[in-house]
Amino acid sequence: MLGLLRIWYFVTWVLVISLSVSCCNFAFVKDFKYADSHEWVKVDGNSATVGITDHAQDHLGDVVYVELPEVGASVKQGEGFGAVESVKATSDVYSPVSGKVVEVNEELSNSPGLVNASPYEEGWIMKVEISDSGELNKLLDSEKYTKFCEEEDAH
Amino acid sequence: MRGAGLWQLGQSITRRIAQGDKKAVARRYFASEAELKKTVLYDFHIANGGKMVPFAGWGMPIQYKDSIIDSTINCRQNGSLFDVSHMCGLSLKGKDSIPFLEKLVIADVASLAPGTGTLTVFTNEKGGAIDDSVITKVTDDHIYLVVNAGCRDKDLAHIEEHMKAFKAKGGDVSWHIHDERSLLALQGPLAAPTLQHLTKEDLSKLYFGEFRILDINGARCFLTRTGYTGEDGFEISVPDENAVDLAKAILEKSEGKVRLTGLGARDSLRLEAGLCLYGNDMEQHTTPVEAGLTWAIGKRRRAEGGFLGAEVILKQLEEGPKIRRAGFISSGPPARSHSEIQNEKGETIGEVTSGGFSPCLKKNIAMGYVKSGSHKAGTKVKIIVRGKAYDGAVTKMPFVPTKYYKPS
């Protein structure tokens, strides 16, 4: 029974993602919110999960190391909370929300490549207890983010 | 995520993820793409999924469709084909070519057998490195050299200045810069079997460091069994008009196992092989002794000198250099150029000059210079990356064993 539920969940997830892909070549998830610095956030009540987008991981190339924040640390919207390193370069990552870090994805220490393979699911970086949900209005929805990516890539 | 930062390959800048305030910078960057020099394979790279970036004034592929990691691993498992036409090939001709060149490099050019070559260093008056180069004695009156793209203008001006003075004293030497030729590097275990399909010459008799002028795929090529990856392989100088066909033929004969490979993987490969990148691991102030290239100073040259900066270098050979190049393996994030190296007590002992993640070893590897005494294999160090200290240790290079084709 649980097995069927997992399959159903997976199928729905795949459909959500495939329905979301537009003329831009990168995937995004419709209900997530996005920062123009290429981080995504999935909000569930007071809890936010944060990662970097498909567009970002593609530009970075193979991720070889993720500098995770400390659990318990405070983060502020727009401020750096860690870094993602690829073969080519190091990139700072900026928190799309303010709050307290409650969990980090330890899997990334062994498998930093998850950021490339599954940027919206297994490649999540941190979970935050949001302190100011009003700030979410400053983020982009999937449509605005896609447009933003297209404009950037057009240069 | 903003500002992807400078990447370690020479003066190359990766495609930054442009931010609002940096859009102006991004626009200027792309505007200058029109002024970049192009090799004859430029369109071929793009047609094959090449992602082009500026490098030393040229538009070069940093990678193709596969990732840098996959590309690096494929080179060692199968093979890679690189377009390195941006590098500068030249020939010195004349009966005094050897004594002329010996004034400028540390190699014992006179005792090279015809058809053999070696890695050498062009030195300045202070014994520092102007550039590193692979030189080949074709015959006693013809020397073929390849120098770095980023040092082309500097090297040619240097050689020209000395050539004028040499000729003024009656020396017989002239040069020809091979701008009519392209350079392909074919590296990996499939390099020789693939190339053998395209030439009648028996490649099993051509050993590491050796040179031939021969027909490959119907074109008259200069072939050197050398490379920048630590693998067995060749550098093929081919006339521009035959370069694309040769590249296509190599890829076809390997049935797709040899893949077009870009500068990103090239840098990972050379770092794994413990090879210096001029501009990072060797600069104007670095002597060959400090860089661990004492082996490249010919025995006779150590006794006689006669090259620029010889006094400084010979003194270092006698007394030992104050700093030495060493290899490191470290934990945490990859150590990058200019990262500080400390001993276990936290005292600064040196600096990283190149570093990155090794796709083959799946570890962080780096090269840098440390105080002599701290350079021995096994020495524990700390490497500072973004303000935090991470454990590391001095490691022998090459990091990945080399596979040069030498007579048994």
Tell whether B19 is within 8 A of chain A (Cβ): yes
Interchain proximity A61–B63, CB inside 8 Å: yes
Quote the ipTM score.
0.73
Left if phi > 0, otherwise alpha if psi is -120 to 50, otherwise beta: which for B217?
left
Query: Is 60 exceeded by the pLDDT of residue B24?
Result: no
**End-to-end CA, chain B:** 52
Chain mean pLDDT for chain B: 92
The Cα angle at residue B120 between residues B118 and B125, in degrees rounded to 5: 160
Q: Domain ranges for chain A, please list them.
A: 33-154
| Known binding positions of B for substrate | 235
Interchain proximity B7–A88, CB inside 8 Å: yes
pLDDT bucket at A12, cuts 50 / 70 / 90: low
- CATH code of B322-400, in short, is 2.40.30.110
pLDDT bucket at B25, cuts 50 / 70 / 90: very low
Interchain proximity A89–B62, CB inside 8 Å: no
- Rounded Cα distance between A80 and A69, Å, is 10
The pLDDT value recorded for residue B18 is 31
Indicate the SS3 state at residue B293: coil
| Known binding positions of B | 235
For B178-226, the DSSP string reads -TTEEEEEEESTTHHHHHHTT-SS-GGG--TTBEEEEEETTEEEEEES-
Which regions of chain A does DSSP assign to beta strands (E)? Answer: 33-34, 39-44, 47-52, 63-67, 74-75, 80-86, 90-94, 99-104, 126-130
Residue A83 · residue A112 · CB < 8 Å: no
The pLDDT value recorded for residue A154 is 79
User: Which tens digit of pLDDT belongs to each residue from A93-111?
Assistant: 999 999 999 999 999 999 9
What are B203's two structure tokens? 């490649």
Query: Is 70 exceeded by the pLDDT of residue B308?
Result: yes
User: For residue A70, what are the CA distances in angstroms to A64, A130, B1, B9?
Assistant: 19, 16, 18, 32
Indicate the SS3 state at residue B121: strand
The pLDDT value recorded for residue A88 is 76
For residue B342, give how far its alpha carbon lies from the nearest alpha carbon of chain A (Å): 21
pLDDT bucket at B34, cuts 50 / 70 / 90: low
Tell me the H-state helices in B291-374. 299-304, 310-319
The pLDDT value recorded for residue B30 is 43
Tell whether B4 is within 8 A of chain A (Cβ): yes
User: Which tens digit of pLDDT belongs to each residue from B117-154?
Assistant: 999 999 999 999 999 999 999 999 999 999 999 999 99
Query: Is 60 exceeded by the pLDDT of residue B10?
Result: no
CB atoms within 10 A of CB A91: 26
Which residue matches tokens 């935050």? Answer: A128
* Residue with more model confidence, B404 or B13: B404
pLDDT bucket at A6, cuts 50 / 70 / 90: low
Tell whether A117 is within 8 A of chain B (Cβ): no
- Rounded Cα distance between B229 and B96, Å, is 33
User: Which tens digit of pLDDT belongs to each residue from B177-236?
Assistant: 999 999 999 999 999 999 999 999 999 999 999 999 999 999 999 999 999 999 999 999
Residue B98 · residue B143 · CB < 8 Å: yes
User: Which tens digit of pLDDT belongs to each residue from B346-403?
Assistant: 999 999 999 999 999 999 999 999 999 999 999 999 999 989 999 999 999 999 999 9
pLDDT bucket at A5, cuts 50 / 70 / 90: low
Length of chain B: 408
The pLDDT value recorded for residue A40 is 97
Nearest to A88 among B1, B14, B332 (CB): B14
The pLDDT value recorded for residue A87 is 87
Closest CA to B294 of B258, B274, B269, B324: B324
> Phi, psi (5° rounding) for residue B42?
-55, -55
CATH 2.40.30.110 in chain B: give the residue spans: 322-400
Helix, strand and coil content of chain A, in percent to the nearest 5, comes to 35, 30, 35
Tell me the H-state helices in B273-306. 299-304
- Taking contacts as CB-CB distances below 8 angstroms, the residues of chain A near B62 are 88
Residue B135 · residue B107 · CB < 8 Å: yes
Residue B378 · residue B387 · CB < 8 Å: no
Tell whether A54 is within 8 A of chain B (Cβ): no
The pLDDT value recorded for residue B218 is 97
Amino acid code (one letter) for B148: N
Summarize the confidence of residues A26-45 as an average pLDDT: 92
| Fold of the domain spanning B41-86+180-271 | Gyrase A; domain 2 (3.30.1360)
The pLDDT value recorded for residue B19 is 33
What are B12's two structure tokens? 């190359």
Q: Among 1.20.1600.10, 2.40.50.100, 2.40.33.20, 3.90.1150.200, name the CATH number for the domain at A33-154.
A: 2.40.50.100
According to DSSP, the β-strands at A99-104 and B323-330 are unpaired
User: Which tens digit of pLDDT belongs to each residue from B320-333?
Assistant: 999 999 999 999 99
Query: Is 50 exceeded by the pLDDT of residue A7?
Result: yes
CATH 3.30.1360.120 in chain B: give the residue spans: 41-86+180-271
Query: Is 80 exceeded by the pLDDT of residue A44?
Result: yes
Summarize the confidence of residues B279-285 as an average pLDDT: 97
Residue B98 · residue B109 · CB < 8 Å: yes
